[in-house]
Amino acid sequence: MQIIHSNSSKVWVLESEIVGNDEKTPEIQDFKTAFIFFSDGEFIEQKMVHLGSSKGKQGIYYLNLSSKTQDTVFSLNYKNNEYKTFHLKKCTSKELHLMEVEREDSSANRLWILKTLPKPTKW
């Protein structure tokens, strides 16, 4: 779990969201979605343009082992009772691959590729 939050907080950017065969991620960095995962199990989801502000959706995240599939399951439970559940396909200190668990209201597979927020190239 430490790899997700780095013992404090860690910013992950949704670099690619593939639904079926279609890329859904905005090309402009400011409009991409960022997730900040905190060591206490809380997170905030917000657009990059709002990073560091109080704007965004908050919730709690979990990592569990699925007894059914023996996969690692990553869950986002939002304060507005929305939730998203993923199979954790890849997890390194700089990249996460999450495949959404199929739901009855979903007709296509959804893959999220998140990468850690890099240092700005221009100072």
Check if the beta carbon of residue 59 is closer than 8 Å to that of residue 79. yes
Between 70 and 15, whose confidence is greater? 15
73 falls in which pLDDT band (50, 70, 90)? very high
CATH number at residue 85: 2.40.128.540
Is the pLDDT higher at 39 or at 67? 39
- Residue 78: inside a domain: yes
What's the pTM? 0.88
Interval 3-27: pLDDT, tens: 888 888 999 999 999 998 899 999 9
> Is residue 71 very low, low, confident or very high in pLDDT (cuts 50, 70, 90)?
confident
Number of domains forming the structure of the chain: 1
On whether residue 48 sits in a domain, the answer given is: yes
Question: Is the pLDDT confidence value at 66 over 80?
Answer: no
Residue 123 lies in a domain: no
Residue 122 lies in a domain: no
**Structural domain span for residue 36:** 2-116
Q: Residues 6 or more apart from 26 whose CB is under 8 A from it?
A: 32
